[in-house]
Copies of this chain bind each other. A is one copy, B any other.
Amino acid sequence: MANEDPTDLPSLRPTSWATLGLLSFGEELSGYDLKKWADWSLRFFYWAPSYSQIYSELRKLEEIGYASSRVVNKDDVRGKRLYRITPEGEAAMTRWANEAPVEPAVLKHGVMLRMWLGHAGDPEHLREVLLAHREQSEKMRIRAVADREGAAKEPGWAFPEMVLNWSVKYYEDERDRADAMLADLDKFARKQKRSRRTPAAKRTSDELRSHSV
Protein backbone atom coordinates (compact mmCIF):
# COMPACT_ATOMS: atom_id res chain seq x y z
CA MET A 1 0.00 0.00 0.00
CA ALA A 2 2.69 2.53 0.97
CA ASN A 3 5.99 1.73 -0.69
CA GLU A 4 6.57 3.59 -3.94
CA ASP A 5 7.47 7.23 -3.69
CA PRO A 6 10.55 8.77 -2.06
CA THR A 7 8.39 10.68 0.43
CA ASP A 8 7.93 7.22 1.81
CA LEU A 9 7.93 6.33 5.49
CA PRO A 10 10.92 4.58 7.00
CA SER A 11 9.38 1.22 7.80
CA LEU A 12 9.44 1.19 11.57
CA ARG A 13 8.10 -1.62 13.66
CA PRO A 14 4.88 -1.10 15.59
CA THR A 15 6.92 -0.83 18.79
CA SER A 16 8.66 2.25 17.40
CA TRP A 17 5.32 3.76 16.46
CA ALA A 18 4.06 2.98 19.91
CA THR A 19 6.96 4.91 21.42
CA LEU A 20 6.45 7.81 19.05
CA GLY A 21 2.74 7.57 19.78
CA LEU A 22 3.35 8.09 23.46
CA LEU A 23 5.18 11.29 22.55
CA SER A 24 2.44 12.32 20.15
CA PHE A 25 0.22 13.45 22.99
CA GLY A 26 2.55 16.42 23.15
CA GLU A 27 4.44 16.18 26.43
CA GLU A 28 8.18 16.32 26.83
CA LEU A 29 9.21 13.07 28.48
CA SER A 30 12.22 11.09 29.66
CA GLY A 31 12.76 7.42 28.88
CA TYR A 32 11.72 6.61 32.39
CA ASP A 33 8.48 8.57 32.07
CA LEU A 34 7.75 6.86 28.77
CA LYS A 35 8.14 3.43 30.31
CA LYS A 36 5.86 4.28 33.21
CA TRP A 37 3.24 5.67 30.94
CA ALA A 38 3.49 2.71 28.56
CA ASP A 39 2.98 0.29 31.43
CA TRP A 40 -0.03 2.20 32.51
CA SER A 41 -1.67 2.85 29.18
CA LEU A 42 -0.65 0.29 26.56
CA ARG A 43 -0.49 -2.87 28.63
CA PHE A 44 -4.07 -3.89 27.86
CA PHE A 45 -3.52 -4.33 24.15
CA TYR A 46 0.17 -3.89 23.40
CA TRP A 47 3.03 -5.63 25.22
CA ALA A 48 5.02 -2.86 26.89
CA PRO A 49 8.71 -2.79 25.92
CA SER A 50 11.46 -2.74 28.51
CA TYR A 51 13.36 0.36 29.60
CA SER A 52 16.38 -0.42 27.52
CA GLN A 53 14.34 -0.86 24.40
CA ILE A 54 12.56 2.41 24.97
CA TYR A 55 15.92 4.14 25.28
CA SER A 56 17.14 2.69 22.03
CA GLU A 57 13.87 3.49 20.29
CA LEU A 58 14.23 7.09 21.42
CA ARG A 59 17.77 7.31 20.08
CA LYS A 60 16.56 5.89 16.78
CA LEU A 61 13.60 8.26 16.57
CA GLU A 62 15.90 11.19 17.17
CA GLU A 63 18.31 9.95 14.52
CA ILE A 64 15.63 9.87 11.85
CA GLY A 65 14.28 13.23 12.93
CA TYR A 66 10.95 12.20 14.44
CA ALA A 67 11.94 13.31 17.92
CA SER A 68 14.29 15.85 19.44
CA SER A 69 15.85 15.88 22.85
CA ARG A 70 17.55 18.14 25.33
CA VAL A 71 19.36 17.44 28.56
CA VAL A 72 18.21 19.08 31.73
CA ASN A 73 20.73 19.17 34.54
CA LYS A 74 19.15 19.12 37.89
CA ASP A 75 21.82 20.19 40.41
CA ASP A 76 24.57 19.52 37.87
CA VAL A 77 25.76 15.95 38.56
CA ARG A 78 23.39 13.90 36.50
CA GLY A 79 21.46 15.03 33.51
CA LYS A 80 18.28 13.59 32.25
CA ARG A 81 17.28 13.66 28.63
CA LEU A 82 13.82 14.80 27.68
CA TYR A 83 12.30 13.90 24.32
CA ARG A 84 9.67 15.67 22.31
CA ILE A 85 8.00 14.77 19.02
CA THR A 86 8.92 16.91 15.98
CA PRO A 87 6.55 18.11 13.25
CA GLU A 88 8.07 15.47 10.93
CA GLY A 89 7.31 12.89 13.60
CA GLU A 90 3.71 14.01 13.82
CA ALA A 91 3.31 13.87 10.05
CA ALA A 92 4.80 10.38 9.92
CA MET A 93 2.53 9.19 12.73
CA THR A 94 -0.50 10.41 10.85
CA ARG A 95 0.55 8.65 7.66
CA TRP A 96 1.22 5.46 9.54
CA ALA A 97 -2.10 5.50 11.39
CA ASN A 98 -3.97 6.08 8.15
CA GLU A 99 -2.05 4.09 5.59
CA ALA A 100 -0.08 1.23 7.05
CA PRO A 101 -1.34 -2.20 6.01
CA VAL A 102 -3.53 -4.00 8.52
CA GLU A 103 -1.47 -6.75 10.12
CA PRO A 104 -2.88 -9.55 12.25
CA ALA A 105 -2.24 -9.14 15.96
CA VAL A 106 0.66 -11.03 17.51
CA LEU A 107 -0.60 -13.44 20.12
CA LYS A 108 1.46 -15.85 22.20
CA HIS A 109 -0.95 -17.55 24.53
CA GLY A 110 1.12 -19.75 26.82
CA VAL A 111 -1.92 -21.11 28.63
CA MET A 112 -3.56 -22.29 25.42
CA LEU A 113 -0.27 -23.83 24.36
CA ARG A 114 -0.31 -25.88 27.54
CA MET A 115 -3.89 -26.90 27.00
CA TRP A 116 -3.08 -27.90 23.44
CA LEU A 117 -0.40 -30.16 24.87
CA GLY A 118 -2.85 -31.45 27.46
CA HIS A 119 -2.07 -35.07 26.62
CA ALA A 120 1.29 -34.46 28.34
CA GLY A 121 -0.18 -33.16 31.58
CA ASP A 122 -2.86 -34.24 33.94
CA PRO A 123 -6.36 -32.76 33.95
CA GLU A 124 -6.25 -31.73 37.61
CA HIS A 125 -3.22 -29.52 37.12
CA LEU A 126 -4.52 -28.15 33.85
CA ARG A 127 -7.69 -27.18 35.62
CA GLU A 128 -5.68 -25.12 38.10
CA VAL A 129 -3.78 -23.43 35.30
CA LEU A 130 -7.02 -22.46 33.62
CA LEU A 131 -8.49 -21.19 36.85
CA ALA A 132 -5.44 -19.02 37.50
CA HIS A 133 -5.71 -17.65 33.98
CA ARG A 134 -9.38 -16.92 34.54
CA GLU A 135 -8.54 -14.94 37.66
CA GLN A 136 -5.80 -12.97 35.93
CA SER A 137 -8.20 -12.06 33.15
CA GLU A 138 -10.78 -10.88 35.62
CA LYS A 139 -8.20 -8.71 37.38
CA MET A 140 -7.22 -7.12 34.09
CA ARG A 141 -10.85 -6.50 33.27
CA ILE A 142 -11.36 -4.70 36.55
CA ARG A 143 -8.31 -2.52 35.97
CA ALA A 144 -9.51 -1.67 32.48
CA VAL A 145 -12.88 -0.64 33.87
CA ALA A 146 -11.19 1.66 36.37
CA ASP A 147 -8.97 3.21 33.72
CA ARG A 148 -11.91 3.73 31.45
CA GLU A 149 -13.61 5.80 34.15
CA GLY A 150 -10.43 7.85 34.41
CA ALA A 151 -10.16 8.39 30.65
CA ALA A 152 -13.78 9.45 30.39
CA LYS A 153 -13.03 12.39 32.64
CA GLU A 154 -10.22 13.72 30.45
CA PRO A 155 -11.17 15.92 27.53
CA GLY A 156 -9.64 14.90 24.20
CA TRP A 157 -9.21 11.27 25.23
CA ALA A 158 -12.00 9.89 23.12
CA PHE A 159 -9.76 7.38 21.32
CA PRO A 160 -8.00 6.02 24.39
CA GLU A 161 -11.42 5.71 25.93
CA MET A 162 -12.73 3.73 22.95
CA VAL A 163 -9.76 1.40 23.20
CA LEU A 164 -10.27 0.96 26.93
CA ASN A 165 -13.84 0.07 26.17
CA TRP A 166 -12.54 -2.55 23.76
CA SER A 167 -10.09 -3.76 26.42
CA VAL A 168 -12.80 -4.23 29.02
CA LYS A 169 -14.60 -6.49 26.56
CA TYR A 170 -11.37 -8.26 25.65
CA TYR A 171 -10.67 -9.40 29.21
CA GLU A 172 -14.30 -10.14 29.85
CA ASP A 173 -14.29 -12.39 26.78
CA GLU A 174 -11.02 -13.97 27.87
CA ARG A 175 -12.54 -14.75 31.26
CA ASP A 176 -15.67 -16.23 29.71
CA ARG A 177 -13.69 -18.41 27.32
CA ALA A 178 -11.73 -19.74 30.28
CA ASP A 179 -15.00 -20.65 31.95
CA ALA A 180 -16.23 -22.38 28.82
CA MET A 181 -13.00 -24.31 28.54
CA LEU A 182 -13.19 -25.38 32.17
CA ALA A 183 -16.56 -26.88 31.34
CA ASP A 184 -15.08 -28.68 28.31
CA LEU A 185 -12.25 -29.97 30.44
CA ASP A 186 -14.62 -31.31 33.08
CA LYS A 187 -16.67 -33.03 30.43
CA PHE A 188 -13.52 -34.63 29.06
CA ALA A 189 -12.37 -35.73 32.53
CA ARG A 190 -15.72 -37.38 33.22
CA LYS A 191 -15.55 -39.19 29.91
CA GLN A 192 -12.01 -40.38 30.67
CA LYS A 193 -13.10 -41.72 34.02
CA ARG A 194 -15.99 -43.60 32.45
CA SER A 195 -13.83 -45.15 29.77
CA ARG A 196 -11.15 -46.17 32.26
CA ARG A 197 -13.81 -48.23 34.02
CA THR A 198 -14.73 -49.95 30.74
CA PRO A 199 -12.70 -52.23 28.42
CA ALA A 200 -12.98 -49.64 25.65
CA ALA A 201 -10.20 -47.77 27.39
CA LYS A 202 -7.57 -50.04 25.92
CA ARG A 203 -8.52 -49.13 22.42
CA THR A 204 -8.41 -45.40 23.07
CA SER A 205 -4.92 -45.34 24.52
CA ASP A 206 -3.58 -47.53 21.71
CA GLU A 207 -4.87 -45.03 19.22
CA LEU A 208 -3.31 -42.23 21.20
CA ARG A 209 0.02 -43.98 20.86
CA SER A 210 -0.18 -44.48 17.14
CA HIS A 211 -0.91 -40.81 16.29
CA SER A 212 -2.15 -41.23 12.76
CA VAL A 213 -1.94 -37.87 10.99
Contacts and interface: CB of A to CB of B under 8 A. Distances in A.
A107 B184 contact: no
A114 to B, nearest CB: 5
A116 B188 contact: no
A152 B153 CA distance: 49
Q: Interface residues of A toward B: which range?
A: 35 or more
Contact of A109 (B46, B132, B173, B212): B46
Contact of A108 (B46, B114, B155): B46
Interface in A154-213: 154-156, 158-163, 165-170, 173, 177, 180-181, 184-185, 188, 204-205, 207-209, 211-213
Given A105-B110, A120-B97, A211 B163 contact: no
A108 B47 contact: yes
Number of this chain's copies in the complex: 2
Given A106-B47, A208-B155, A162 B136 contact: no
A112 to B, nearest CB: 4
Interface string A137-163: 000100000000000111110111111
B111 A108 contact: no
A166 B162 contact: no
Given A97-B114, A156-B207, 7 more contacts: A25-B119, A26-B209, A46-B108, A94-B121, A106-B109, A165-B180, A166-B180
21 contacts: A14-B110, A25-B211, A45-B109, A45-B116, A47-B108, A93-B120, A98-B121, A99-B125, A102-B132, A104-B136, A105-B108, A105-B111, A106-B107, A115-B162, A152-B208, A155-B204, A156-B208, A166-B180, A169-B173, A169-B177, A169-B180
